[in-house]
Structure 1
Amino acid sequence: MTTESRPTLPLASTGCSCCAPSTTDDREVSAPPTAELSTRTVSYAVEGMTCGHCVGTVIEAIKALEGVEDVRIDLQAGGVSTATVTGSPTSAAVRIAIEDAGYSLARS
């Protein structure tokens, strides 16, 4: 049995938004009624992530949402990364979680 070796991501980098001081606001997103929730997988294009610490910050923010079953991120350091979310959170809730973590969705 062989083990796949993956490069270790750095924990922080100069100028990444996850390491910058955060600002808070009181935005809230209410979930739709439970009967309307269904499990789905949606991908989001996220700008601004540069390191493993950024990835961890975004994963933590999204996993804190009600209905999230799994979060996976394909990091493209300094480019547009892909966050794939499985579960039933609204797209608006995911967008706000990403923005509150210090990142933004890429414009289409």
Structure 2
Amino acid sequence: MCETTARTELPLSAPNTFGCSCCSTGARTHPASLVEGFEYSLEGLTCAHCVQTIEKAATTVDGVESATVELVAGGTSRLTVAGTASVEAVRDAVTGAGYSVAASR
């Protein structure tokens, strides 16, 4: 049996939300810088591994502070990038990872 005495209690719900605090829609917050970043429409993503690959490729670009993918399996997913990286550099990183960028805005 483990002799660990210190435990961390995690909240099961956030105030004024439903569900646990880690997956409740009311508990999610994103840094304001994501709103000001570039958005890219991506095609060819089918799973969480695709998301991880794209986010990892985008964050390796100089000037990228964060990269988040909203997956739409079989459809057009969205990559949001915050930072000072050029649109072309992020596009090159995504295509270099084997995915296609449909548009950027």
Same fold (TM over 0.5): yes
Aligned pair partner of 1:92 in 76, 80, 88: 88
What is aligned with 1:101?
A: 97
2:78 aligned partner: 82
Q: Does 1:41 align with 2:37?
A: yes
Amino acid at match of 1:66: D
Runs of 4+ in 1 over 2 A off after TM superposition: none
Rounded Cα–Cα distance in structure 2 between residues aligned with 1:65 and 1:92: 10
Unaligned runs of 5+ in 2: 1-11, 14-19, 24-35
Q: Who wins on radius of gyration, i.e. which is larger? A: 2
Unpaired stretches in structure 1, ≥5 consecutive residues: 7-39
**Higher fraction of helix:** 2
Over the aligned positions, Cα root-mean-square deviation in angstroms equals: 1.8
After superposition, the Cα gap between the structure-2 partners of 1:76 and 1:103, relative to the gap in structure 1 and judged at 3 Å, is same
Q: Deviations over 1:42-83 (max 9, x none)?
A: 100000000000000000000001111111111000111000
Once the two structures are aligned, what percentage of the paired residues are identical?
41
Instruction: Tell me what 1:28 maps to.
Output: none
Pair 1:54-2:50 in alignment: yes
Higher RCO, Cα 8 Å, sep 6+: 1
